[in-house]
Amino acid sequence: MNEKVIVSKFGGTSMGDAECMKRSALVAFNQGAKVVVVSATSGTTNDLIELAKTAEKSTWENASLILTKIKVKHLKIARELEMNPEKIEPINQLCEELESMSRGVHLLKDCSLKALDSIQSIGERLSSVLFTEAMNIVLRAQSVQTTAKWLDVRDVLITDNQFSKARPLTELIKTRCQEQLSFIRHSDVILCTQGFIGKTQDGMTTTLGRGGSDYSAAILAEGLEADILEIWTDVAGIATTDPRICKEAKAIPEISFKEASELATFGAKILHPATLLPAIRAHIPVFVGSSFHPEQGGTWVKKDVEDMPLVRAMAMRKKQILVTLSTPEMLYSHGFLYQIFKVFNDHKVSIDAITTSEISVSLTLDDSTLLNKDLVNDLEKFADVQVEENLALVSLIGNNINHTPGLAKKIFESISDINVRMICLGASKHNFCFIIAEESAAEVINRLHKTFIA
Ligand code: ADP
Ligand code: ASP
Ligand code: MG
């Protein structure tokens, strides 16, 4: 028996239909995974959010159309997996639970983040039931003793109560993993469980934020003192940039934790930005590969790697907002930055990039929904506030970036016809980022890729 603990996570596209599930299950089996963490089936989290919003704001007829769509999609997979009525029962129960919650939202015309988290949790709970069956089909075909068992991850993945972006309570999770799951190292069981969701100490369902299944897998890997964490997705590893934006993007065989963390934070959707933190803390190497083409290999993310290029990869994040605060009072005074950061802190809004001048400070925020009226009103108590939208943050990720002469020249020469609104360099050895208009972002990435990588 393989006594290594390998935690494998499969994303939404790897859960697309019964075929995808069986293909992913075979990958998990071949890799010797002991714990498999799955996302909701492709598109389902979006459908669940739409369902919740429709139930809150529109007619019940409209909401029930979405409800039916979700139910039909999952029952179809169950049929394709030839699940008998007894096995299908949990699927029906989850659909009923979803209907009750949606009716509650509709009657109250109120969809709190707490309600939305419970509604979204159904996606991973449904897919994990189906995947457990797919895993058992594969195990039977391999004629092995091993069996797959469904696990409710909420029994171990305990979080705080920040609904929609809950934070895992690491120490508690470690204790629960050791108490409840450590048997897995010496067992013939493969645990199949949900990504993305957790539970507060008083039993309320939470989610870790969009794309959070990667993070879930990493937290479980840490809790279980796993030997390897694998993230299986629809591309063969981390590439030099998003292959959807740039056809010339190339797979990266090895990347350091620091570079990969920056890449994820600055917009490479392939990894949730928090994924690597638990892996770094627990010294767990991470592999990223394609569940569709496992034979193509992938990327190893490790503490130390041999090759440390100046520019390894690039990423972009759209829907950025640039907020510029100006006041003559900033001149020769102290405490101004403290005051404005306190306002952002009070509103629980996190700031990304910052530059300051004599009497003004510019900072960027991710996603326009964050900048609400109250926040702007509070900022206006201290300064004139100017807001620019439809911007993109472009980042180059690599090594020794802040100590290499000539880099900025090369970057800006290759995009000399494009207006750059803000530049951030210096804080990190691994990152150079700047703000441009959103519509130029893809072009900029392609040009920089040509200059530095292709
Ligand atoms: P999953 O559903 O498996 O979590 P995601 O859609 O969240 O998958 O992430 C995979 C996608 O990330 C890829 O299809 C690709 O378009 C995108 N992506 C963005 N940046 C990169 C990059 N540097 N390398 C590889 N993929 C990237
Ligand atoms: N299903 C969740 C989402 O779509 C989490 C994930 O897939 O990682 O955001
Ligand atoms: Mg993802």
**Exposed e or buried b for every residue in 62-90, given b needs 16+ CB within 10 A?**
ebbebbeebbebbbebbeebebeeebbeb
Answering whether pTM is above 0.85, one says: yes
DSSP 394: E
Q: How many CB atoms lie within 10 A of CB 341?
A: 14
CB 176 within 8 A of CB 105: no
- Separation of alpha carbons 58 and 28, rounded Å: 42
Atom of ligand 1 nearest to the CA of 11: 3
The owner of tokens 């029994």 is 155
Task: For residue range 172-189, list pLDDT tens digits in order.
Answer: 999 999 999 999 999 999
Ligand that comes closest to the CA of residue 235:
1
Report residues of the chain scoring pLDDT below 70: 1, 331, 368-369
CB 66 within 8 A of CB 47: yes
Atom of ligand 2 nearest to the CA of 12: 7
Tokens of 153: 């991850």
**What is the model's pLDDT at position 371?**
79
Strands 384-398 and 311-326 come out as antiparallel
160: amino acid identity, one letter: D
| Beta strands across the sheet bearing 384-398 | 354-356, 360-366, 311-326, 384-398, 431-437, 422-424
- Separation of alpha carbons 421 and 389, rounded Å: 11
- Separation of alpha carbons 312 and 241, rounded Å: 9
CB 95 within 8 A of CB 73: no
Q: How many CB atoms lie within 10 A of CB 352?
A: 17
Q: What are phi and psi of 341, to 5 degrees?
A: -65, -30
SS3 11: coil
**What is the model's pLDDT at position 368?**
65
**What is the model's pLDDT at position 369?**
66
CB 158 within 8 A of CB 183: no
130: amino acid identity, one letter: L
| Beta strands across the sheet bearing 205-207 | 158-159, 197-200, 205-207
223 closest CA partner among 170, 166, 295: 170
Instruction: Determine the topology of domain 6-233 in CATH.
Output: Carbamate kinase (3.40.1160)
CB 23 within 8 A of CB 294: no
CB 396 within 8 A of CB 314: yes
**What is the model's pLDDT at position 424?**
87
Instruction: Determine the topology of domain 311-452 in CATH.
Output: VC0802-like (3.30.2130)
179: amino acid identity, one letter: E
**What is the model's pLDDT at position 313?**
97
**What is the best residue among 127, 207, 213 to mutate for testing ligand 2's pocket, by most ligand atoms within 8 Å of CB?**
213
**Residue 175 vs residues 32, 157, 183, 385: alpha-carbon distances, Å:** 24, 10, 13, 47
Name the residue at shortest CA distance from atom 4 of ligand 1. 11
- Separation of alpha carbons 208 and 214, rounded Å: 10
**What is the model's pLDDT at position 382?**
87
Query: How much distance in Å is there from the Cα of 283 to the middle of ligand 1?
Result: 24
Q: Which residues surround ligand 3, an ion (CB under 5 A)?
A: 11, 211
Tokens of 4: 């290594």
**What is the model's pLDDT at position 18?**
98
Domain boundaries, the chain: 6-233, 311-452
Query: How much distance in Å is there from the Cα of 258 to the middle of ligand 2?
Result: 24
- Separation of alpha carbons 379 and 436, rounded Å: 24
